[in-house]
């Protein structure tokens, strides 16, 4: 839990501790970086507006090192602020003031995605892209690709149904659940990040195609 407000950290810590989570605290991005490197948390709750190192700066630094899921806690209402966080690699966001039950639901939803039970169809290969659900790894030829949990889940949705066109709303619901707030443009930024990592030329995508007036689909190779 990264927030410069001690009362906010205490409120969240006390509630989540009652729900059997172990909560570590940091009051700015610098402390959070050191703590995350040492403790390897399962998930990070990240405020944006903080002294010394704000949430955006933390995201930029941390995403170069780890793909730990991150939920933004933001008091800002502007859509552009949320979008910037998603562009920098956040997996979800909750707008302050938020309900503690909603926050817990968001946390559990993200953790369920990252701790999914392996199945018989763990490995999917389409073209040169190989996605392994059990190990949560993506490989293109001999190159490993580092994805955030949301990027990985989005790619898994696409690759599980190659050739199917998904609307942004469909994809948002599959990622977040129908009861969660969300903006359809969230998907655009996850897709842009995905393309920058798996496409040879993101401006002319080979794998994730735009279906104008609908959304996106993963190319079905013959």
Q: The domain that contains 171 carries what CATH number?
A: 1.10.10.10
Mention every residue, 6+ apart, whose C-beta is less than 8 A from residue 17: 23
Average pLDDT over residues 14-33: 95
Q: Quick one: 15 and 47 in the same domain? A: yes
Tell me the pLDDT tens digit for each residue of 36-50: 999 999 999 999 989
Instruction: Note the pLDDT tens digit of each residue in 174-202.
Output: 876 544 455 667 788 889 999 999 999 99
CA distance 196 to 122: 24
Mean pLDDT score of the chain: 86
Q: Of 114, 149, 178, which marks where a domain is finished?
A: 114
Q: How many CB atoms lie within 10 A of CB 175?
A: 22
Q: Which residue range is the domain that position 55 belongs to?
A: 6-114
pLDDT value of position 62: 93
Statement to judge: residues 137 and 93 lie in one domain: no
Residues 130 and 210 in one domain: yes
* Residues 107-119: tens digit of each pLDDT: 988 888 776 544 5
Boundary-marking domain end, from 86, 114, 142: 114
For residues 136 and 101, membership in a common domain is answered with: no
Q: Are 54 and 133 in a shared domain?
A: no
Lowest mean pLDDT among 14-18, 51-55, 186-190: 186-190
């Amino acid at each position: 839990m990264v927030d410069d407000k001690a009362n906010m950290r205490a409120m969240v810590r006390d509630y989540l501790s009652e729900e059997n989570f172990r909560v570590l605290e940091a009051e700015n991005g610098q402390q959070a970086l050191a703590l995350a490197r040492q403790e390897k948390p399962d998930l990070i709750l990240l405020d944006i507006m903080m002294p010394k190192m704000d949430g955006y700066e933390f995201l930029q630094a941390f995403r170069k090192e780890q793909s730990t899921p991150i939920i933004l806690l933001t008091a800002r209402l502007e859509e552009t602020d949320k979008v910037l966080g998603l562009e920098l690699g956040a997996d979800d966001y909750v707008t302050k003031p938020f309900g503690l039950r909603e926050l817990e639901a968001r946390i559990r939803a993200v953790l369920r995605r990252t701790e999914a039970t392996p199945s018989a169809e763990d490995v999917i290969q389409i073209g040169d892209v190989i996605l392994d659900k059990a190990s949560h790894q993506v490989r293109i030829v001999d190159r490993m690709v580092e994805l955030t949990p949301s990027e990985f889940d989005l790619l898994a949705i696409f690759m599980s149904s190659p050739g199917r066109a998904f609307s942004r709303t469909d994809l948002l619901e599959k990622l977040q659940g129908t009861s969660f707030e969300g903006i359809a443009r969230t998907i655009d930024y996850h897709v842009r990040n995905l393309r920058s990592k798996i496409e040879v030329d993101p401006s002319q995508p080979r794998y994730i195609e735009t279906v104008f007036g609908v959304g996106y689909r993963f190319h079905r190779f013959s």
